[in-house]
Amino acid sequence: MRKTFGALSLLFILGILLLIANPNYGLKFGLGGEDWQKYRYTDQYYIDHGIEETGGTNIVTDIVFDYRGYDTLGEATVLFTSIAGAVALLRKWREENEE
Amino acid sequence: MKSDMGLIVKTMARATIPLIGIFGAYVVSHGHLTPGGGFQGGATIAGAGILFLITFGIDEAKKRINKSLYSALEGLGGLVFLGAAMLGLSVVFFYNTLWHNGPVFDGKPGTLLSAGYLPIMNLAVGLKVYTGLMSAVFAIALFRRWRK
């Protein structure tokens, strides 16, 4: 009985969250009016202006390396750090070079 | 020390490793035109390197591949990526100044020499991913817990 009630309440909360997050009539953050959808959902802007602004015909590369460059920079840092950690943990190279 | 792989595997690896490498180089160099990019192409070339390492054994691979050079090249790839991002620092970080008013890489969209710093970044990230993955696989393959 309790488990059923808990699951039903979770479903109810999920439904309320879906209602709030609906872009047509839900909760709006940031700018008022009708402009907020243009600023939040930017995919059509990338498709329209990507070629003239960055020059690449591959829109994914335009977004990854130009519009969202900071994200790629952090991703490269994560890769570098993980490989440095792997090499430092499995360090057999150093002993082989010293012998 | 002889490796465990037989003649069939070695012959197939000799035939397929150049093709995999060429395909990876194509994906990296055409990253701003066709699907793919630095990460995907670098991982493809690293697949060719890992195939070489598995097929011919760690001793043959140690003779052919310089591990310290690969570790250095990974850092160089990251620095080239950061430097290409800093080219347009007079306007803003990650400003594509080579495309808007640059001397090179400002051809028509769709050609190979276009899109400003995107080809440079693709090459740098491809180099970084390839050398980084090869360094990690070498570190795992060279790891021995026991003493010889």
Cβ neighbours around A33 below 10 Å, total: 8
Residue A68 falls inside a structural domain: yes
Assembly ipTM: 0.76
DSSP SS3 for B111: strand
Residue A15 falls inside a structural domain: no
Residue A82 falls inside a structural domain: yes
Residues in B whose CB is inside 8 Å of some CB of A read: 31-37, 67, 71, 74-75, 78, 81-82, 85, 93-94, 96, 99, 106, 109-110, 114-118, 121-122, 125, 128-129, 132-133, 135-136, 139-140, 142-144
Look at B128 and A55 and tell me if their CB atoms are within 8 Å: no
Say if A78 is an interface residue toward chain B (CB within 8 Å).
no
Q: Which two tokens stand for residue B108?
A: 């028509």
Look at A65 and B75 and tell me if their CB atoms are within 8 Å: no
Residue A79 falls inside a structural domain: yes
pLDDT tens, residue by residue, B87-141: 877 777 888 777 777 777 777 777 777 777 888 888 999 999 999 888 888 888 8
Q: Which residue has the higher pLDDT, B65 or B21?
A: B21
Domain residue limits at A88: 42-98
Tell me the nearest-neighbour CA distance from A57 into chain B, angstroms: 5
pLDDT band at B86 (very low <50, low <70, confident <90, very high): confident
**Tokens 């990526």 found at:** B81
| Per-residue exposure over B5-34, b if at least 16 CB sit within 10 Å of its own CB, e if not | eeeeeeeebeeebeebbebbbebbbbbbbe
Q: Residue A62: its chain B contacts at CB < 8 A? A: 32, 118
Q: Which two tokens stand for residue A55?
A: 């020059």
Residue A36 falls inside a structural domain: no
Mean pLDDT, all residues of chain A: 80
Tell me the nearest-neighbour CA distance from A61 into chain B, angstroms: 6
For residue B10, give Cα distances in angstroms to A4, B16, B51, B53.
60, 10, 10, 11
- In this prediction, residue B148 carries a pLDDT of 54
- In this prediction, residue A68 carries a pLDDT of 85
How many domains does chain A divide into?
A: 1
Residue A12 falls inside a structural domain: no
Q: What is the pTM of this model?
A: 0.76
Say if A99 is an interface residue toward chain B (CB within 8 Å).
no
- In this prediction, residue A34 carries a pLDDT of 67
Residue A62 falls inside a structural domain: yes
Q: Sign of dihedral through CA atoms B108, B112, B113, B116? A: positive
Q: Taking CA atoms, what residue in B is nearest to A96? A: B142
* DSSP secondary structure, B113-133, as one string: T-STTHHHHHHHHHHHHHHHH
Residue A68 φ/ψ, nearest 5 degrees: -115, 50
The angle that helices A69-89 and B67-85 make with each other, rounded to 10 degrees, is 160
